[in-house]
Structure 1
């Protein structure tokens, strides 16, 4: 006779996150290299973020809402507090600064 199958929760961390972003949204000058790359070649920065996440480098230009999805993914993997609504608003109104923040966060996470 087989033992009954029991389901285990797959949550690996707190859904709400346990920390804040390592740098603020407008801390662009804390990393001048990222700031310059984001200012002069924002598409290159976006492609770098996607490829560091293991996605195709062209993903930000082929998938609608890709940067919101990448921000949510980085936030979730890093255990950063926030919400999808906040991610959407930040990417909509402060996109360039948010892309630089994502790049700095990945660097600070060691990716």
Structure 2
């Protein structure tokens, strides 16, 4: 069974700080999103500054987030999201990574 995104694509203003940072410095958020899934923060932050490459790399990161969270979608869809609304896509991914912990907390008995 597939999950859905915890925040909508237009839910940018749910976290105004993240929205402002991503609007002015999207390479920072792109790098942090990559780092959260185990990729290189600096590499993806710098690649986000290169036209066309930024959309492809961001779509790959979005695909890995979808795979981890079992969210339906495709690379083409991810690429279109980043081409049409790159800031909203980065914010949605960052909010997804913040809202759902990857490792459940350990319980001591």
Count of aligned positions = 95
More helix by share: 2
Question: Structure 2 CA distance, aligned partners of 1:62 and 1:42?
Answer: 11
User: For residues 12-57 of structure 1, what are the alpha-carbon distances to aligned partners after superposition, in whole Å with 9 as ceiling and x for unaligned?
Assistant: xxxxx61211111010111122112211221111111111111111
Matched, 1:44 2:28: yes
Between 1:63-72 and 1:80-89, the stretch displaced more is: 63-72
- Match of 2:41, SS? coil
Find the aligned partners of 1:94 and 1:102 in 2 and give their Cα distance. 12
The one of 72, 85, 91 equivalent to 1:100 is: 91
Which runs of 4 or more aligned residues in structure 1 lie more than 6 Å from their structure 2 counterparts after TM superposition? none
Structure 2, unaligned runs of 5 or more: 103-109
Gaps of 5+ in 1: 1-16
Q: 2:66 — aligned with what? A: 75
Name the CA distance, whole Å, in 1 between partners of 2:93 and 2:86: 10
Alpha carbons 1:49, 1:103 under 8 Å: kept: yes
